[in-house]
Structure 1
Amino acid sequence: ISSEPYSWGVGPTIGSTEWYNDTLDDNRNVRACYFDDEYVFGADGSFMNVLGDETWIEGWQGAEGCGTPIAPFDGSIPATFEYDEANSSLTLNGVGAYIGLPKVIEGAELLDPDPASRPESLTYVATLRDDGTLLVSISFGPGFWNFVLARAD
Structure 2
Amino acid sequence: MEASFKQTTTNKEERYHLFLPQFELLISDEQEEISVLANAAASLREAFDFFWVGFYIIKNEQLILGPFQGSVACYRIRKGKGVCGTAWAEGRTLVVPDVDQFPGHIACSSLSRSEIVVPIIANGEVKGVLDIDSDQLNSFEETDRFYLEQVAAIIAKTLYK
The normalised TM-score by structure 1 is 0.34
- Larger relative CO (CA 8 A, sep 6+): 1 or 2? 1
The normalised TM-score by structure 2 is 0.33
Hey, which of these two has a bigger chunk of strand by percent? Answer: 1
Hey, which of these two has a bigger chunk of helix by percent? Answer: 2
